[in-house]
Amino acid sequence: MKFDKNIKNYIYGELENPLSASFIDNYNPALGQVYSQIPDSDERDVHRAVKAAQRAFPTWSTIGVEKRFRILMRVADIIEQNLETFALAESMDTGKPLSLARKVDIPRAHANLRFFATSIMHFSAESHNMEKEAINFTLRSPLGVVGCISPWNLPLYLFTWKIAPALAAGNTVVAKPSEMTPMTAYLLAQACIEAGLPPGVLNIVNGFGHKAGQAIVEHDDVKAISFTGGTKTGRTIASIAAPKFKKLSLELGGKNPNIIYADCDFEKMMKTTLRSSFANQGQICLCGSRIFVERHLYPIFKEEFVKRVQKLKIGDPNSPKTDQGAVVSKAHMEKVLGYIELAKKEGGRILCGGEQKKVKGKFENGYFIKPTVIEGLAHDCRTNQEEIFGPVVTIMPFSTDKEVIKYANSTEFGLSATVWTQDITKAHSIAEQLEAGIVWVNTWMTRDLRTPFGGTKNSGVGREGGLEALRFFTEAKNVCIQF
Ligand code: NDP
Protein backbone atom coordinates (compact mmCIF):
# COMPACT_ATOMS: atom_id res chain seq x y z
CA MET A 1 0.00 0.00 0.00
CA LYS A 2 1.71 3.16 -1.09
CA PHE A 3 1.11 6.80 -1.76
CA ASP A 4 1.94 7.38 -5.36
CA LYS A 5 2.33 10.79 -6.93
CA ASN A 6 0.85 9.38 -10.13
CA ILE A 7 -2.57 8.03 -9.35
CA LYS A 8 -3.80 5.38 -11.78
CA ASN A 9 -7.11 3.98 -12.90
CA TYR A 10 -8.00 0.48 -11.72
CA ILE A 11 -9.39 -1.55 -14.62
CA TYR A 12 -9.67 -5.32 -14.85
CA GLY A 13 -7.42 -5.72 -11.82
CA GLU A 14 -4.61 -3.56 -13.22
CA LEU A 15 -3.45 -0.07 -12.28
CA GLU A 16 -3.13 1.87 -15.51
CA ASN A 17 -2.76 5.33 -17.01
CA PRO A 18 -5.63 6.91 -18.96
CA LEU A 19 -5.68 6.37 -22.72
CA SER A 20 -5.37 10.13 -23.27
CA ALA A 21 -2.10 10.09 -21.27
CA SER A 22 -3.19 13.41 -19.75
CA PHE A 23 -3.41 14.18 -16.07
CA ILE A 24 -5.03 16.66 -13.69
CA ASP A 25 -3.24 18.40 -10.81
CA ASN A 26 -4.33 17.19 -7.40
CA TYR A 27 -4.02 19.78 -4.62
CA ASN A 28 -3.30 19.54 -0.95
CA PRO A 29 -5.74 22.30 0.16
CA ALA A 30 -4.06 22.94 3.51
CA LEU A 31 -0.82 23.81 1.69
CA GLY A 32 -2.48 25.23 -1.41
CA GLN A 33 -0.04 23.15 -3.47
CA VAL A 34 -0.17 20.43 -6.09
CA TYR A 35 1.00 17.14 -4.62
CA SER A 36 -0.04 14.50 -7.13
CA GLN A 37 -1.46 13.87 -10.58
CA ILE A 38 -4.64 12.05 -11.42
CA PRO A 39 -5.80 10.55 -14.72
CA ASP A 40 -7.92 12.80 -16.92
CA SER A 41 -9.97 9.84 -18.15
CA ASP A 42 -12.53 10.04 -20.92
CA GLU A 43 -15.28 7.87 -22.38
CA ARG A 44 -12.72 5.42 -23.82
CA ASP A 45 -11.43 4.56 -20.34
CA VAL A 46 -14.98 4.30 -19.07
CA HIS A 47 -15.84 1.98 -21.95
CA ARG A 48 -12.86 -0.26 -21.11
CA ALA A 49 -13.96 -0.30 -17.47
CA VAL A 50 -17.53 -1.23 -18.42
CA LYS A 51 -16.28 -4.06 -20.66
CA ALA A 52 -14.06 -5.30 -17.80
CA ALA A 53 -17.03 -5.23 -15.43
CA GLN A 54 -19.16 -7.11 -17.97
CA ARG A 55 -16.51 -9.82 -18.25
CA ALA A 56 -16.38 -10.20 -14.48
CA PHE A 57 -20.14 -10.23 -13.93
CA PRO A 58 -21.08 -13.86 -14.78
CA THR A 59 -18.62 -15.29 -12.25
CA TRP A 60 -18.99 -12.66 -9.52
CA SER A 61 -22.80 -12.78 -9.60
CA THR A 62 -22.86 -16.57 -9.20
CA ILE A 63 -19.81 -17.15 -6.98
CA GLY A 64 -22.07 -17.35 -3.90
CA VAL A 65 -22.64 -14.96 -1.05
CA GLU A 66 -20.10 -16.62 1.22
CA LYS A 67 -17.22 -16.07 -1.20
CA ARG A 68 -18.28 -12.47 -1.77
CA PHE A 69 -18.50 -12.02 2.01
CA ARG A 70 -14.97 -13.37 2.54
CA ILE A 71 -13.34 -11.17 -0.09
CA LEU A 72 -15.10 -7.98 1.03
CA MET A 73 -14.15 -8.72 4.64
CA ARG A 74 -10.52 -9.07 3.52
CA VAL A 75 -10.67 -5.66 1.83
CA ALA A 76 -12.10 -4.21 5.07
CA ASP A 77 -9.30 -5.82 7.11
CA ILE A 78 -6.63 -4.37 4.82
CA ILE A 79 -8.10 -0.88 5.16
CA GLU A 80 -8.17 -1.25 8.93
CA GLN A 81 -4.59 -2.54 9.04
CA ASN A 82 -3.49 0.49 7.01
CA LEU A 83 -5.58 3.02 8.93
CA GLU A 84 -2.75 5.54 9.24
CA THR A 85 -1.92 5.51 5.53
CA PHE A 86 -5.56 5.89 4.56
CA ALA A 87 -6.21 8.61 7.15
CA LEU A 88 -3.17 10.62 6.09
CA ALA A 89 -4.20 10.37 2.43
CA GLU A 90 -7.74 11.52 3.26
CA SER A 91 -6.47 14.43 5.30
CA MET A 92 -3.99 15.53 2.61
CA ASP A 93 -6.59 15.35 -0.16
CA THR A 94 -9.42 17.12 1.66
CA GLY A 95 -7.69 19.41 4.17
CA LYS A 96 -9.65 17.86 7.05
CA PRO A 97 -7.97 17.22 10.41
CA LEU A 98 -6.05 13.95 10.45
CA SER A 99 -7.74 13.14 13.77
CA LEU A 100 -11.15 13.27 12.06
CA ALA A 101 -10.06 11.04 9.17
CA ARG A 102 -8.57 8.59 11.69
CA LYS A 103 -11.63 8.57 13.93
CA VAL A 104 -14.51 8.90 11.46
CA ASP A 105 -13.75 8.60 7.73
CA ILE A 106 -11.58 5.50 7.59
CA PRO A 107 -13.27 3.47 10.37
CA ARG A 108 -16.59 4.12 8.67
CA ALA A 109 -15.16 2.96 5.31
CA HIS A 110 -14.19 -0.48 6.63
CA ALA A 111 -17.42 -0.61 8.63
CA ASN A 112 -19.38 -0.08 5.38
CA LEU A 113 -17.63 -3.03 3.76
CA ARG A 114 -18.18 -5.28 6.77
CA PHE A 115 -21.77 -4.18 7.17
CA PHE A 116 -22.77 -5.07 3.60
CA ALA A 117 -20.55 -8.18 3.43
CA THR A 118 -22.45 -9.57 6.41
CA SER A 119 -25.86 -8.17 5.38
CA ILE A 120 -25.83 -10.12 2.16
CA MET A 121 -25.47 -13.34 4.16
CA HIS A 122 -28.83 -12.55 5.79
CA PHE A 123 -30.59 -11.00 2.81
CA SER A 124 -33.81 -12.75 1.86
CA ALA A 125 -36.78 -11.99 -0.33
CA GLU A 126 -40.51 -12.07 0.36
CA SER A 127 -43.05 -14.76 -0.38
CA HIS A 128 -46.81 -14.21 -0.57
CA ASN A 129 -49.10 -17.13 -0.10
CA MET A 130 -52.55 -17.03 -1.77
CA GLU A 131 -54.33 -19.63 0.27
CA LYS A 132 -55.25 -22.78 -1.62
CA GLU A 133 -54.57 -21.07 -4.93
CA ALA A 134 -50.94 -20.17 -5.52
CA ILE A 135 -47.69 -19.08 -3.93
CA ASN A 136 -45.66 -16.08 -5.00
CA PHE A 137 -42.01 -15.68 -4.23
CA THR A 138 -39.67 -12.87 -5.17
CA LEU A 139 -36.29 -13.52 -6.70
CA ARG A 140 -33.71 -10.76 -6.29
CA SER A 141 -30.90 -10.80 -8.82
CA PRO A 142 -27.99 -8.43 -9.26
CA LEU A 143 -28.46 -5.84 -11.98
CA GLY A 144 -25.20 -6.26 -13.90
CA VAL A 145 -22.72 -3.40 -14.26
CA VAL A 146 -23.59 -0.44 -12.05
CA GLY A 147 -22.07 3.04 -11.72
CA CYS A 148 -21.14 4.66 -8.40
CA ILE A 149 -20.20 8.35 -8.30
CA SER A 150 -19.26 10.10 -5.08
CA PRO A 151 -18.24 13.58 -3.84
CA TRP A 152 -15.16 15.04 -2.15
CA ASN A 153 -16.37 15.79 1.37
CA LEU A 154 -16.24 12.27 2.84
CA PRO A 155 -14.33 10.55 0.06
CA LEU A 156 -13.71 6.93 1.09
CA TYR A 157 -16.63 6.90 3.53
CA LEU A 158 -19.16 7.66 0.75
CA PHE A 159 -17.34 5.71 -1.97
CA THR A 160 -17.51 2.48 0.06
CA TRP A 161 -21.08 3.26 1.15
CA LYS A 162 -22.09 2.70 -2.49
CA ILE A 163 -19.56 0.15 -3.67
CA ALA A 164 -20.01 -2.25 -0.75
CA PRO A 165 -23.75 -2.98 -1.23
CA ALA A 166 -23.36 -3.05 -5.03
CA LEU A 167 -20.60 -5.68 -4.84
CA ALA A 168 -22.17 -7.65 -1.99
CA ALA A 169 -25.37 -8.01 -4.02
CA GLY A 170 -23.36 -9.52 -6.91
CA ASN A 171 -23.05 -6.56 -9.26
CA THR A 172 -19.83 -5.44 -10.84
CA VAL A 173 -18.97 -1.77 -10.54
CA VAL A 174 -17.49 1.14 -12.44
CA ALA A 175 -16.86 3.89 -9.89
CA LYS A 176 -15.57 7.43 -9.96
CA PRO A 177 -14.33 9.37 -6.93
CA SER A 178 -14.31 13.15 -7.00
CA GLU A 179 -11.42 14.46 -9.04
CA MET A 180 -10.52 16.64 -6.03
CA THR A 181 -10.08 13.72 -3.61
CA PRO A 182 -8.93 10.59 -5.45
CA MET A 183 -6.13 9.29 -3.20
CA THR A 184 -8.04 6.95 -0.87
CA ALA A 185 -9.91 5.41 -3.83
CA TYR A 186 -6.48 4.66 -5.30
CA LEU A 187 -5.41 3.04 -2.03
CA LEU A 188 -8.69 1.09 -2.06
CA ALA A 189 -7.78 -0.27 -5.52
CA GLN A 190 -4.48 -1.49 -4.06
CA ALA A 191 -6.34 -3.07 -1.12
CA CYS A 192 -8.68 -4.88 -3.56
CA ILE A 193 -5.71 -6.30 -5.47
CA GLU A 194 -4.11 -7.46 -2.20
CA ALA A 195 -7.39 -9.00 -1.04
CA GLY A 196 -7.73 -11.03 -4.25
CA LEU A 197 -10.84 -9.32 -5.59
CA PRO A 198 -11.25 -10.90 -9.06
CA PRO A 199 -10.30 -8.60 -11.98
CA GLY A 200 -13.10 -6.43 -13.30
CA VAL A 201 -15.37 -6.77 -10.26
CA LEU A 202 -14.53 -3.21 -9.19
CA ASN A 203 -13.14 -0.69 -11.67
CA ILE A 204 -12.18 2.83 -10.66
CA VAL A 205 -11.95 5.52 -13.31
CA ASN A 206 -10.59 8.91 -12.27
CA GLY A 207 -11.25 12.24 -13.89
CA PHE A 208 -13.64 15.12 -14.23
CA GLY A 209 -17.32 14.71 -13.48
CA HIS A 210 -18.55 16.23 -16.71
CA LYS A 211 -16.27 13.90 -18.69
CA ALA A 212 -15.53 10.56 -16.98
CA GLY A 213 -18.51 10.78 -14.61
CA GLN A 214 -20.96 11.63 -17.34
CA ALA A 215 -19.58 8.85 -19.58
CA ILE A 216 -20.51 6.34 -16.85
CA VAL A 217 -24.04 7.75 -16.64
CA GLU A 218 -24.41 7.77 -20.45
CA HIS A 219 -23.08 4.26 -21.05
CA ASP A 220 -25.86 1.97 -22.26
CA ASP A 221 -24.43 -1.08 -20.50
CA VAL A 222 -24.47 0.56 -17.06
CA LYS A 223 -27.77 -0.50 -15.54
CA ALA A 224 -27.99 1.73 -12.48
CA ILE A 225 -26.40 4.87 -11.11
CA SER A 226 -25.85 5.53 -7.44
CA PHE A 227 -24.82 9.16 -7.09
CA THR A 228 -24.01 11.42 -4.16
CA GLY A 229 -23.27 15.07 -4.84
CA GLY A 230 -24.88 18.41 -5.50
CA THR A 231 -28.52 18.92 -6.49
CA LYS A 232 -27.55 20.60 -9.77
CA THR A 233 -25.36 17.66 -10.82
CA GLY A 234 -28.10 15.27 -9.68
CA ARG A 235 -30.52 16.99 -12.03
CA THR A 236 -28.09 16.62 -14.97
CA ILE A 237 -27.56 12.95 -14.16
CA ALA A 238 -31.30 12.31 -13.86
CA SER A 239 -31.93 13.97 -17.23
CA ILE A 240 -29.43 11.59 -18.89
CA ALA A 241 -30.33 8.41 -17.02
CA ALA A 242 -34.13 8.72 -16.98
CA PRO A 243 -34.73 8.40 -20.75
CA LYS A 244 -32.54 5.28 -20.66
CA PHE A 245 -34.72 3.92 -17.80
CA LYS A 246 -31.74 3.30 -15.54
CA LYS A 247 -32.30 2.74 -11.86
CA LEU A 248 -31.24 5.89 -10.01
CA SER A 249 -30.33 6.61 -6.43
CA LEU A 250 -29.60 10.29 -5.83
CA GLU A 251 -28.26 11.62 -2.52
CA LEU A 252 -28.07 15.38 -2.96
CA GLY A 253 -27.65 18.64 -1.10
CA GLY A 254 -29.11 19.88 2.16
CA LYS A 255 -29.85 23.06 4.10
CA ASN A 256 -30.63 21.40 7.36
CA PRO A 257 -32.48 23.05 10.24
CA ASN A 258 -31.31 22.68 13.84
CA ILE A 259 -34.27 23.48 16.13
CA ILE A 260 -33.40 24.27 19.73
CA TYR A 261 -36.07 24.55 22.46
CA ALA A 262 -35.37 26.25 25.78
CA ASP A 263 -36.00 23.02 27.74
CA CYS A 264 -33.10 21.16 26.09
CA ASP A 265 -30.06 19.74 27.87
CA PHE A 266 -28.07 22.93 27.26
CA GLU A 267 -24.55 21.56 27.61
CA LYS A 268 -25.17 18.51 25.44
CA MET A 269 -26.93 20.65 22.83
CA MET A 270 -24.11 23.20 22.83
CA LYS A 271 -21.34 20.62 22.34
CA THR A 272 -23.28 18.81 19.63
CA THR A 273 -24.32 22.01 17.86
CA LEU A 274 -20.67 23.03 17.60
CA ARG A 275 -20.03 19.74 15.81
CA SER A 276 -23.18 19.77 13.70
CA SER A 277 -22.28 23.27 12.52
CA PHE A 278 -18.55 22.95 11.90
CA ALA A 279 -17.43 19.31 11.71
CA ASN A 280 -15.37 18.75 8.57
CA GLN A 281 -15.40 22.57 8.11
CA GLY A 282 -19.18 22.41 7.68
CA GLN A 283 -18.74 20.29 4.57
CA ILE A 284 -21.08 17.46 5.54
CA CYS A 285 -24.41 17.22 3.76
CA LEU A 286 -25.97 16.62 7.21
CA CYS A 287 -24.53 19.70 8.94
CA GLY A 288 -27.19 21.91 10.53
CA SER A 289 -26.60 25.23 8.80
CA ARG A 290 -29.75 27.06 9.95
CA ILE A 291 -30.04 27.21 13.72
CA PHE A 292 -33.45 28.18 15.13
CA VAL A 293 -33.50 28.92 18.86
CA GLU A 294 -36.59 29.43 21.05
CA ARG A 295 -36.82 33.16 21.67
CA HIS A 296 -36.20 33.30 25.43
CA LEU A 297 -33.12 31.04 25.14
CA TYR A 298 -31.77 32.95 22.14
CA PRO A 299 -29.58 35.59 23.93
CA ILE A 300 -27.99 32.98 26.22
CA PHE A 301 -27.45 30.59 23.32
CA LYS A 302 -25.94 33.30 21.15
CA GLU A 303 -23.44 34.45 23.75
CA GLU A 304 -22.24 30.98 24.67
CA PHE A 305 -22.20 29.63 21.11
CA VAL A 306 -20.16 32.51 19.71
CA LYS A 307 -17.73 32.28 22.66
CA ARG A 308 -17.12 28.60 21.94
CA VAL A 309 -16.89 29.02 18.15
CA GLN A 310 -14.18 31.65 18.65
CA LYS A 311 -12.14 29.12 20.62
CA LEU A 312 -12.06 26.55 17.78
CA LYS A 313 -8.50 25.97 16.63
CA ILE A 314 -7.95 26.35 12.89
CA GLY A 315 -4.86 25.26 11.01
CA ASP A 316 -2.41 22.37 10.69
CA PRO A 317 -4.54 19.29 9.88
CA ASN A 318 -1.86 17.06 11.41
CA SER A 319 -2.00 18.65 14.84
CA PRO A 320 -4.17 16.75 17.34
CA LYS A 321 -5.25 20.15 18.74
CA THR A 322 -6.80 21.29 15.45
CA ASP A 323 -10.59 21.49 15.27
CA GLN A 324 -10.86 22.96 11.77
CA GLY A 325 -8.71 22.19 8.76
CA ALA A 326 -8.85 23.71 5.28
CA VAL A 327 -11.83 23.64 2.94
CA VAL A 328 -11.40 21.48 -0.11
CA SER A 329 -10.24 23.94 -2.77
CA LYS A 330 -9.56 27.57 -3.59
CA ALA A 331 -12.72 27.71 -5.72
CA HIS A 332 -14.79 26.34 -2.87
CA MET A 333 -13.23 28.79 -0.39
CA GLU A 334 -14.14 31.64 -2.72
CA LYS A 335 -17.68 30.33 -3.08
CA VAL A 336 -18.14 30.18 0.71
CA LEU A 337 -16.61 33.66 1.20
CA GLY A 338 -18.96 34.89 -1.54
CA TYR A 339 -21.92 33.66 0.50
CA ILE A 340 -20.62 35.55 3.54
CA GLU A 341 -20.56 38.73 1.45
CA LEU A 342 -24.08 37.96 0.24
CA ALA A 343 -25.23 37.52 3.85
CA LYS A 344 -23.88 41.00 4.69
CA LYS A 345 -25.70 42.49 1.72
CA GLU A 346 -28.88 40.78 2.84
CA GLY A 347 -28.59 42.50 6.22
CA GLY A 348 -26.82 39.77 8.20
CA ARG A 349 -24.59 40.64 11.17
CA ILE A 350 -21.38 38.63 11.37
CA LEU A 351 -21.03 37.61 15.03
CA CYS A 352 -17.70 35.87 14.49
CA GLY A 353 -15.48 34.70 11.64
CA GLY A 354 -16.60 36.06 8.31
CA GLU A 355 -13.26 35.87 6.54
CA GLN A 356 -10.38 33.74 5.37
CA LYS A 357 -7.99 32.63 8.10
CA LYS A 358 -4.36 33.24 7.30
CA VAL A 359 -2.37 30.49 8.97
CA LYS A 360 1.29 31.37 9.45
CA GLY A 361 4.24 29.32 8.17
CA LYS A 362 3.91 26.21 6.07
CA PHE A 363 0.15 26.59 5.66
CA GLU A 364 0.13 30.27 4.62
CA ASN A 365 -1.28 29.43 1.16
CA GLY A 366 -3.93 27.05 2.50
CA TYR A 367 -7.68 27.48 2.08
CA PHE A 368 -8.82 28.14 5.65
CA ILE A 369 -12.00 29.97 6.65
CA LYS A 370 -12.83 31.20 10.15
CA PRO A 371 -15.96 29.49 11.48
CA THR A 372 -18.71 32.02 10.93
CA VAL A 373 -21.95 32.75 12.78
CA ILE A 374 -24.47 35.17 11.26
CA GLU A 375 -27.67 36.61 12.71
CA GLY A 376 -30.36 39.01 11.63
CA LEU A 377 -31.38 37.30 8.39
CA ALA A 378 -34.87 36.42 7.23
CA HIS A 379 -35.63 32.73 6.78
CA ASP A 380 -36.34 33.19 3.08
CA CYS A 381 -33.24 35.16 2.00
CA ARG A 382 -30.73 33.45 -0.33
CA THR A 383 -28.23 32.86 2.47
CA ASN A 384 -30.88 30.84 4.28
CA GLN A 385 -32.14 29.06 1.18
CA GLU A 386 -29.03 27.99 -0.74
CA GLU A 387 -26.51 25.35 0.27
CA ILE A 388 -23.24 26.99 1.34
CA PHE A 389 -21.46 23.77 2.37
CA GLY A 390 -18.80 25.46 4.49
CA PRO A 391 -18.14 26.65 8.06
CA VAL A 392 -21.03 29.13 8.06
CA VAL A 393 -24.24 29.00 10.12
CA THR A 394 -27.07 31.42 10.65
CA ILE A 395 -28.94 31.78 13.95
CA MET A 396 -32.55 32.91 14.25
CA PRO A 397 -35.05 33.15 17.13
CA PHE A 398 -38.56 31.66 16.97
CA SER A 399 -41.61 31.84 19.23
CA THR A 400 -44.01 29.07 18.24
CA ASP A 401 -43.92 25.55 16.82
CA LYS A 402 -45.90 26.68 13.82
CA GLU A 403 -43.42 29.44 13.08
CA VAL A 404 -40.33 27.23 13.33
CA ILE A 405 -41.87 24.49 11.19
CA LYS A 406 -42.61 27.09 8.53
CA TYR A 407 -38.98 28.30 8.61
CA ALA A 408 -37.52 24.81 8.71
CA ASN A 409 -39.56 23.55 5.75
CA SER A 410 -39.12 26.68 3.65
CA THR A 411 -36.20 25.49 1.47
CA GLU A 412 -36.09 23.31 -1.64
CA PHE A 413 -34.11 20.74 0.41
CA GLY A 414 -35.25 18.03 2.79
CA LEU A 415 -32.25 15.99 3.87
CA SER A 416 -31.97 16.03 7.66
CA ALA A 417 -33.04 18.00 10.73
CA THR A 418 -32.16 18.10 14.41
CA VAL A 419 -34.52 18.86 17.30
CA TRP A 420 -33.44 19.67 20.85
CA THR A 421 -36.07 19.32 23.60
CA GLN A 422 -36.72 17.21 26.68
CA ASP A 423 -40.42 17.09 25.85
CA ILE A 424 -40.93 13.80 24.04
CA THR A 425 -44.42 14.70 22.83
CA LYS A 426 -43.14 17.90 21.26
CA ALA A 427 -40.15 16.06 19.75
CA HIS A 428 -42.46 13.53 18.18
CA SER A 429 -44.83 16.15 16.83
CA ILE A 430 -42.04 18.31 15.36
CA ALA A 431 -40.28 15.28 13.83
CA GLU A 432 -43.52 14.31 12.12
CA GLN A 433 -44.03 17.77 10.62
CA LEU A 434 -40.48 18.26 9.34
CA GLU A 435 -39.92 17.69 5.64
CA ALA A 436 -36.72 15.68 5.95
CA GLY A 437 -35.53 12.15 5.30
CA ILE A 438 -33.69 11.97 8.63
CA VAL A 439 -34.62 13.63 11.95
CA TRP A 440 -32.34 13.47 14.97
CA VAL A 441 -33.74 14.26 18.41
CA ASN A 442 -31.19 15.33 21.05
CA THR A 443 -28.32 14.04 18.94
CA TRP A 444 -26.67 14.49 15.55
CA MET A 445 -24.99 12.10 13.11
CA THR A 446 -25.83 9.08 15.23
CA ARG A 447 -25.92 6.50 12.48
CA ASP A 448 -27.20 2.94 12.48
CA LEU A 449 -26.26 1.56 9.07
CA ARG A 450 -29.47 -0.48 8.92
CA THR A 451 -31.69 2.61 8.75
CA PRO A 452 -32.93 4.22 5.51
CA PHE A 453 -30.67 7.13 4.56
CA GLY A 454 -31.60 9.90 2.14
CA GLY A 455 -33.60 13.03 1.56
CA THR A 456 -36.93 14.31 0.34
CA LYS A 457 -37.67 17.21 -2.04
CA ASN A 458 -34.53 18.32 -3.93
CA SER A 459 -32.26 16.43 -1.52
CA GLY A 460 -32.63 13.27 -3.48
CA VAL A 461 -34.49 10.27 -4.75
CA GLY A 462 -34.42 6.89 -3.05
CA ARG A 463 -32.74 5.70 0.11
CA GLU A 464 -29.40 4.10 0.89
CA GLY A 465 -28.46 1.97 3.87
CA GLY A 466 -29.40 -1.52 5.04
CA LEU A 467 -32.03 -3.35 3.03
CA GLU A 468 -32.80 -0.24 0.99
CA ALA A 469 -29.37 -0.39 -0.64
CA LEU A 470 -29.53 -4.13 -1.27
CA ARG A 471 -32.96 -3.70 -2.82
CA PHE A 472 -31.71 -0.86 -5.00
CA PHE A 473 -28.83 -2.96 -6.30
CA THR A 474 -31.06 -5.96 -7.16
CA GLU A 475 -33.90 -6.54 -9.58
CA ALA A 476 -37.05 -8.12 -8.17
CA LYS A 477 -38.83 -10.85 -10.10
CA ASN A 478 -42.05 -12.31 -8.79
CA VAL A 479 -42.66 -15.99 -9.52
CA CYS A 480 -46.24 -17.19 -9.04
CA ILE A 481 -46.87 -20.94 -8.90
CA GLN A 482 -50.43 -22.17 -8.95
CA PHE A 483 -51.20 -25.07 -6.64
P1 NDP B 1 -20.80 17.49 -7.31
O2 NDP B 1 -22.22 17.30 -7.65
O3 NDP B 1 -20.07 18.61 -7.94
O4 NDP B 1 -19.96 16.18 -7.66
C5 NDP B 1 -20.23 14.90 -7.13
C6 NDP B 1 -19.58 13.86 -8.02
O7 NDP B 1 -20.21 13.89 -9.30
C8 NDP B 1 -18.11 14.10 -8.28
O9 NDP B 1 -17.45 12.86 -8.38
C10 NDP B 1 -18.13 14.83 -9.59
O11 NDP B 1 -16.91 14.73 -10.25
C12 NDP B 1 -19.24 14.08 -10.30
N13 NDP B 1 -19.88 14.79 -11.41
C14 NDP B 1 -19.94 16.13 -11.65
N15 NDP B 1 -20.61 16.38 -12.80
C16 NDP B 1 -21.02 15.17 -13.28
C17 NDP B 1 -21.77 14.75 -14.43
N18 NDP B 1 -22.25 15.64 -15.30
N19 NDP B 1 -22.00 13.44 -14.60
C20 NDP B 1 -21.54 12.54 -13.72
N21 NDP B 1 -20.81 12.86 -12.62
C22 NDP B 1 -20.55 14.16 -12.41
O23 NDP B 1 -20.74 17.55 -5.74
P24 NDP B 1 -19.50 17.88 -4.83
O25 NDP B 1 -18.40 16.90 -5.14
O26 NDP B 1 -19.22 19.33 -4.92
O27 NDP B 1 -20.06 17.50 -3.38
C28 NDP B 1 -20.76 18.38 -2.61
C29 NDP B 1 -22.25 18.12 -2.71
O30 NDP B 1 -22.55 16.79 -2.35
C31 NDP B 1 -23.05 18.98 -1.76
O32 NDP B 1 -24.17 19.51 -2.45
C33 NDP B 1 -23.49 18.01 -0.69
O34 NDP B 1 -24.67 18.37 -0.04
C35 NDP B 1 -23.66 16.77 -1.48
N36 NDP B 1 -23.62 15.60 -0.59
C37 NDP B 1 -24.78 14.91 -0.37
C38 NDP B 1 -24.78 13.84 0.51
C39 NDP B 1 -26.02 13.05 0.77
O40 NDP B 1 -25.90 11.94 1.28
N41 NDP B 1 -27.20 13.54 0.44
C42 NDP B 1 -23.55 13.44 1.22
C43 NDP B 1 -22.41 14.23 0.89
C44 NDP B 1 -22.44 15.27 0.00
P45 NDP B 1 -15.80 15.90 -10.10
O46 NDP B 1 -15.70 16.24 -8.66
O47 NDP B 1 -14.60 15.22 -10.59
O48 NDP B 1 -16.29 17.03 -10.92
Give pLDDT, residue 2: 74
Give pLDDT, residue 343: 98
Q: Which of 251, 294, 464, 468 is catalytic?
A: 251
Q: Which of 148, 192, 264, 285 is catalytic?
A: 285
Q: CA distances (Å), 375 to each of 121, 257, 343, 417, in order?
A: 51, 15, 9, 19
**DSSP assignment of 218-244:** H-TTEEEEEEES-HHHHHHHHHHHGGG
> Are 304 and 293 in contact, with CB atoms under 8 Å apart?
no
The closest alpha carbon to 322, from 354, 268, 279, belongs to 279
**DSSP assignment of 358-400:** ---GGGTTS--B--EEEES--TTSGGGTS---SSEEEEEEE-S
Separation of first and last alpha carbons in the chain: 57
Sequence-distant (6+) residues with CB within 8 A of 13 are 193, 197, 198, 199, 200
Spatial separation of the C-alpha atoms in residues 112 and 226, rounded to whole Å: 15
SS3 content of the chain, % helix, strand, coil (to 5): 40, 25, 35
- Cβ(176) to ligand 1 under 6 A? yes
Radius of gyration for the chain, computed over Cα atoms and rounded to the nearest angstrom: 23
Give pLDDT, residue 3: 77
User: Is there a catalytic annotation at residue 285?
Assistant: yes
> What residue segments make up the domains of the chain, in order of their start?
9-252+459-482, 257-448
Give pLDDT, residue 130: 96
- CATH no. of 9-252+459-482: 3.40.605.10
Burial class (CB in 10 A: 0-12, 13-18, 19+), 399: exposed
Q: Determine whether domain 257-448 maps to CATH 3.40.309.10.
A: yes
- Cβ(180) to ligand 1 under 6 A? yes
> Are 367 and 95 in contact, with CB atoms under 8 Å apart?
yes
Atom 32 in ligand 1: residue holding the nearest Cα = 230
Ligand 1 atom closest to the CA of 177, numbered from 1: 9
How high is the mean pLDDT in each 10-residue block of the chain (483 residues)?
Answer: 88 98 98 97 98 98 98 98 98 98 98 98 95 96 98 98 98 98 98 98 98 98 98 98 97 98 98 98 98 98 98 97 98 98 98 97 97 98 98 98 98 98 98 98 97 98 96 98 96
Ligand 1 atom closest to the CA of 236, numbered from 1: 18
